[in-house]
């Protein structure tokens, strides 16, 4: 297996974590036992305290897992989110030099149902300015911001990558095909060409599958993105994260994520 660094995200286990059915230390132990190398810790409301961050760092290290850090609740575009965004970067720095911090850009600016499937020229310029600023702030703290293609059509996302060459990406392999989110149909040849062009800007990958018009609960070999072909295209240093949809059943989450690890390792 050429892709050694395979992780999972705590987002899949959100319901179980919030319900107290499993704790983060228990989840770390499970992941290490199954053979994962790292974990994406999702700070659901960007609310972890320094004490909690330190405990996460210690517990993950004890299990031999590298931590990368993510949150959902801010927008690059919103001025009022600025301090919370910077706080997220400082939180990520808690986990050491080279920590990737997965963030989204500005989902509130998209509304495919109303025909809004791209950024206006004015919005684009504001985003470029703020992305550059946040990257500089993160780099000074040893953090690699990895911006996810959550709702952007792939062409629009690539325009940002072109405008900000130092920008790095969380490459989500299902979001790109969700026309309800992006307002744009996509084919594997289009995404394959994008992957080849932008490989150096893709250090971090969310592996999940889209098929038959929907994001799938399992990681598939034969989804819209052929898994083996994708893995061959990516740089061997990319951080691969099995990111499957959340489920209210803890046993289902554990089984599906373990199956995803097995599938990635089979190539």
Residue among 122, 106, 119, 109 nearest 74 (CA): 106
* Cβ contacts of 11 within 8 Å, gap of 6 or more: 40, 42, 70, 243, 246
The pLDDT of residue 184: 80
Residue among 42, 47, 58 nearest 96 (CA): 58
**CA 19/CA 56 separation, integer angstroms:** 18
- CA 152, distance to chain mean position in Å, is 14
- Hey, how many other C-beta atoms are within 10 angstroms of the C-beta on 85? 22
Mean pLDDT of 190-207: 96
Kindly give the pairing relationship between strand 66-71 and strand 38-43: parallel
Q: What's the distance, Cα to Cα, between the start and end of the chain in Å?
A: 6
Residue 2 has pLDDT above 70, yes or no: no
Task: For residue range 140-171, list pLDDT tens digits in order.
Answer: 999 999 999 998 889 999 999 999 999 999 99
Structure confidence at residue 192 as a pLDDT band (50, 70, 90): very high
pTM of the model: 0.96
Task: For residue range 59-92, list pLDDT tens digits in order.
Answer: 999 999 999 999 999 999 999 999 999 999 999 9
Tell me if the domain spanning 6-265 has CATH number 3.20.20.150. yes
Residue 20 has pLDDT above 60, yes or no: yes
The pLDDT of residue 178: 87
- Hey, how many other C-beta atoms are within 10 angstroms of the C-beta on 187? 10
Residue 3 has pLDDT above 90, yes or no: no
Residue 1 has pLDDT above 80, yes or no: no
Residue among 70, 78, 122 nearest 99 (CA): 70
**CA 221/CA 173 separation, integer angstroms:** 12
- Counting residues of the chain whose pLDDT is more than 90, the rounded percentage is 88
Task: For residue range 203-228, list pLDDT tens digits in order.
Answer: 999 999 999 999 999 999 999 999 99
Helix (H) or strand (E) holding 131: helix 121-139
The pLDDT of residue 180: 80
Task: For residue range 24-49, list pLDDT tens digits in order.
Answer: 999 999 999 999 999 999 999 999 99
Does residue 219 sit in helix, strand or coil? coil
**For the chain, what are the domain ranges?**
6-265
Task: For residue range 93-135, list pLDDT tens digits in order.
Answer: 999 999 999 999 999 999 888 888 889 999 999 999 999 999 9
């Amino acid at each position: 297996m050429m892709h050694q660094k395979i992780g999972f995200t705590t987002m899949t286990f959100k319901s179980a974590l919030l319900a107290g059915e499993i704790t983060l230390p228990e989840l770390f132990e499970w992941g290490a036992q199954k053979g994962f190398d790292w974990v994406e810790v999702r700070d659901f409301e960007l609310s972890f305290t320094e004490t909690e961050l330190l405990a996460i760092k210690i517990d993950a290290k004890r299990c031999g897992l590298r931590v990368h850090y993510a949150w959902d609740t801010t927008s690059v575009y919103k001025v009022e989110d600025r301090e919370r965004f910077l706080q997220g970067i400082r939180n990520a720095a808690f986990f050491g030099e080279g920590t990737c911090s997965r963030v989204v850009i500005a989902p509130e600016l998209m509304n495919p149902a109303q025909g809004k499937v791209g950024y206006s020229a004015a919005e684009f310029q504001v985003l470029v300015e703020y992305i550059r600023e946040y990257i500089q702030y993160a780099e000074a703290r040893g953090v690699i911001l990895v911006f996810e293609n959550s709702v952007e059509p792939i062409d629009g996302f690539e325009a940002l990558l072109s405008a900000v060459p130092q920008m790095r990406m969380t490459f989500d392999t299902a979001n790109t095909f969700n026309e309800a989110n992006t307002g744009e149909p996509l084919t594997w040849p289009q995404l394959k060409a994008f992957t080849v062009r932008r490989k150096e800007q893709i250090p971090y990958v969310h592996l999940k599958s889209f098929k038959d018009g929907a994001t799938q609960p399992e990681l598939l070999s034969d989804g819209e993105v052929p898994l083996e072909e994708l893995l061959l295209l990516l740089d061997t240093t990319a951080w691969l994260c099995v990111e499957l949809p959340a489920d209210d059943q803890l046993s289902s989450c554990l089984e599906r994520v373990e199956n995803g690890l097995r599938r990635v390792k089979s190539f």
